[in-house]
Structure 1
Amino acid sequence: MGVALLLWAGALQAAPAQRIALTIDDLPWQRLDERHDPELARRHAQLLAALKAAQLPVVGFVNEGKLEQQGRVLPERVQMLRDWLDAGFELGNHTYGHVDLHAVGLPAYEQDILRGEQTLRPLLARRGQPPRWFRHPYLRTGQDLQQRAALADFLQQHGYRIAPVTVDNSEWIWAFAYDHVRDTEADPGVRQARLRQLRRGYVPYMLNKLDYYQQQSQQLLGRLPAQVWLVHANALNADCIGELVAATRRRGYTFISLEQALQDPAYTHADGYLGAGGIGWVHRWAMAEGKPPAFYAGEPKVPRWVLALAGIDNE
């Protein structure tokens, strides 16, 4: 083997592994409690088919309030959760009503977590599984150390592990724009053109976010940790998730399970954020180290035209 080839092979072996876990929030479907989607069954099947075809592990996070209509649990919506399990994916708890810890307070939040497993826990038990993953709605984890610690103790007592997010993004704004165009644009030609424009912009936006947080991680930790990506169950991802996964793999990433990702020692890093909002874990770790404002610069933003289509003023 020539010297150049040996150097190339050595460089490949030395290249850091790029690993990422995909997680999907707001099951059985984003905004299911807000809007009627006549294509729901088809879109749901489309999303699951794309994820199965991609052959990657997924954890989906459930809001049980979306299983109900006028106080009654709808069997067809529970079946949507069974479909996720039948596809080989895991389910976690995202609270019953997608409530904000900082708005409702800890006691009400804990009750909403328990209410959010009334269907989930027996559904998983029939398959020999306990619910083991929890994700905070809005990524809001507590505004003081006491509240955060008390919630962590509560979750541990009920068998839950927190699912962090390192590749934070505003995919939900793109999804709102996608739904808004589908719902309101009467001209078929204009509607299809705008939906196509959103699809073409969405995947590059998400890859730019991934690049940004990989760079932030490298700068902060001196290496590339396993990442955790957050998206939602919606029509946009039903149409685009296959291309997003394929494009991510073309960049050299391997999709791993959430459990595998959290074995990375990065997830033992201190969390330095106690603000009112919700942010990803890479920036929480950076705040624990006292990084200056300049460290956080350069994060990709949602374009103004997407905000306008979503009917949202600011990200």
Structure 2
Amino acid sequence: MSTTQRLLAFLLLLISLPTNAAEPDRRIAVTIDDLPWARLGDVATPDLQARHEKLIASLKRADVPIVGFVNEKKLEVDGKVQLQRVAMLRDWLDAGFELGNHTYSHADLHAVGVDAYKQEILDGERQLRPLMARYGKTPRWFRHPYLRAGRTAEEKQAVVDFLAGHGYKVAPVTVDNGEWVWAFAYANVMNDPARASEREALLRRLREGYVPYMLEKLDYYEKQSQALLGYALPQVWLMHANELNADSFVALVDGARQRGYRFVTLDEAMKDPAYQRPDGYTGRWGPSWLHRWAMAEKKPKEFYAGEPLVPQWVLDLAGVESE
């Protein structure tokens, strides 16, 4: 065979190879914490309603399945349930979204202990359970505040068993992020009269930085999934009910879709067998479940390198020292 013939045969072989063989199946479920509104006490009542309505409109326009997680204490003022705030939850259900339990007061399991945490779970469904019953639904998902699920295997199992006995499954997070820092910064700029002259420019800068940051986090955890599991895990994305997502959620979803992601229900994502892996984390904080599984396999420190960070200028605007 001549050189020309060999080259032609090689080119024909390349043409015959499937073009999408290495394309991952990118799926993701959206979860939104701290309903009816994160940092609710920092927003005047008229502004709260307008911002809430804007968020619901953005979520509906994006047209993706969502589970929102409720802190029932935020429904109250001086211990009395506010009908307007309960109506905010009805808006989520009317939009076709699902609601889950995020404890009554956003309690930290590591601080309050198992017994008090169990009571927080029960108190976190006093309004939620009858409200969802009117829609023919029941709360099925539970999200740990701060993603802190227990400091020992026994503590973790005690909570999981208690949740199962009340019809709940834990909703993990794989795409963890510093969205809350960007949201703090965004709300601070919106609420600060001293920033009136620079407000619009700062808000635009935050929006234009936030979406790429979140998509970089998505890229990072996809790579982590490929490295740990050998495939693209159906991810679970963590966000919060706030002004930033009211203004940016549609752009964020569009950016993920451009990367090839399909938005799926939390039920579909959780069917992946990886979610049955042991949680290997017993530390103080609340990392991604991908990293918990990596810890169970005793991955070296280098495995976790390269995660995108919130820029210092955003930390400064948020008034926090770190993510």
Q: TM-score range by the shorter chain?
A: over 0.9
Matches of 1:13 and 1:58 in 2, distance apart?
A: 30
**Corresponding letter in the other structure for 1:247:** G
Asked if 1:256 is matched to 2:253, the reply is no
Counterpart selection for 1:126 from 128, 134, 140? 134
CA 1:18–1:122 in structure 2 vs 1: closer, same or farther (change >3 Å)? same
Matches of 2:48 and 2:153 in 1, distance apart?
A: 41
Asked if 1:160 is matched to 2:160, the reply is no
Matches of 1:275 and 1:115 in 2, distance apart?
A: 26
CA 1:229–1:4 in structure 2 vs 1: closer, same or farther (change >3 Å)? farther
**Corresponding letter in the other structure for 1:255:** F
- Between the two proteins, what is the percent identity of the paired residues? 60
RMSD, matched Cα? 1.6
Q: Secondary structure at the match of 1:261?
A: helix
Deviation at 1:41, TM superposition (A): 1.3
Asked if 1:214 is matched to 2:222, the reply is yes
Deviation at 1:128, TM superposition (A): 1.5
CA 1:266–1:14 in structure 2 vs 1: closer, same or farther (change >3 Å)? same
Matches of 1:132 and 1:298 in 2, distance apart?
A: 35
Deviates more, 1:39-48 or 1:292-301: 39-48
**Corresponding letter in the other structure for 2:163:** L
**Match for residue 238 of structure 1?**
246
Unmatched segments (≥5 aa) in structure 1: none
Mapping for residues 1-315 of structure 1, pairs under 5 Å: 7=16, 10-12=18-20, 15-36=23-44, 38-315=46-323
**Corresponding letter in the other structure for 1:103:** A
Deviation at 1:184, TM superposition (A): 1.5
Query: Which whole-Å deviations, capped at 9, do the CAs of 1:68-93 have from their partners, x for residues lacking one?
Result: 00111000000000000000000000
Deviation at 1:34, TM superposition (A): 4.6
Matches of 1:233 and 1:70 in 2, distance apart?
A: 22
Query: Which whole-Å deviations, capped at 9, do the CAs of 1:231-271 have from their partners, x for residues lacking one?
Result: 00000000000000011001100000000000011111121
**What TM-score do you get using the length of structure 2 for normalisation?**
0.93
Matches of 1:137 and 1:187 in 2, distance apart?
A: 32
**Corresponding letter in the other structure for 2:53:** A
Q: Secondary structure at the match of 1:215?
A: helix
**Corresponding letter in the other structure for 2:259:** R
Query: Which whole-Å deviations, capped at 9, do the CAs of 1:152-182 have from their partners, x for residues lacking one?
Result: 0000000001000000001000000011111
In the alignment of these two chains, the number of paired residues is 313
Query: Which whole-Å deviations, capped at 9, do the CAs of 1:180-202 have from their partners, x for residues lacking one?
Result: 11111434331111111101100
Q: Secondary structure at the match of 1:11?
A: coil
Deviation at 1:40, TM superposition (A): 1.5
Deviates more, 1:202-211 or 1:42-51: 42-51
Structure having the higher Rg: 2
